[in-house]
Amino acid sequence: MPPLLVLDFDGTLALADVGDVLCDRFADPSWREWARRWRRGELDLPQAQVHMWSTVRADAATLRAAAAEVGAFRPGAEALFEAAREGALELVVASGGFDLYIEPLLGARMELLAAAYYNRLEPGPEGARPRFPHAELARPPYAIDKAAVLARHRRPGQRVAFAGDGSSDRSVIGADAELFVVRGSLLERACNDAGAPHVSFDDFDSVARALLG
């Protein structure tokens, strides 16, 4: 049975937090205060995202083009996709980000995923409107709870791992899974604060070696 790896997108699979970059370019600067309020625990993430994206004034094509400029994948990512192609790894993407940039950046690699979970974004002249289609995976304060994704895909006897970086990944702390965390990230800090075992990484080559030998 191949190991399962649930993988965050923004700041993990993609080197940049693509959603943040798009907000920096196209939203009112006040979006940053909504993000800070989410990180302080004053709002659930979906509530913050509704406010953040409501000030984005750009059409879908403009947002996708900007995402393509900054959406480079972390070195070693192709080793994970190749392992999935060969049946040596069950790969799942779970993200609090949005289809508008995740799908075009993944492209044909989407076919190699066992599943992918993310939100939807509808740009418009009055701002972009987030949609949250995965109610079955929602656990406050997250629209997509990464620990719930791990539980959904785990099979008896399977080796299970998660790779992530951010505040929206914190539910995996304490989950029955190996944790790979981006070095220097908010998730690494949270794991250290909680005393949670984890492996810090810079590129996916080290993750692939750890999981695949």
Give bridge partners of residue 117 from the DSSP assignment: 94
Q: What is the DSSP letter of 158?
A: -
> What value does the mean pLDDT take over residues 181-205?
98
Q: Could you say which of 3.40.50.170, 3.40.50.1000, 3.40.50.720, 3.90.180.10 is the CATH number of the domain covering 4-212?
A: 3.40.50.1000
Beta strands in 43-167, from DSSP E residues, in sequence order: 90-98, 115-122, 129-131, 160-164
Prediction pTM value: 0.97
pLDDT of residue 213: 83
User: Each residue of 41-83: pLDDT tens digit?
Assistant: 999 999 999 999 999 999 999 999 999 999 999 999 999 999 9
Residue burial 29-47, b: 16+ Cβ < 10 Å; e: rest: eebeebbeebeeeebbbbb
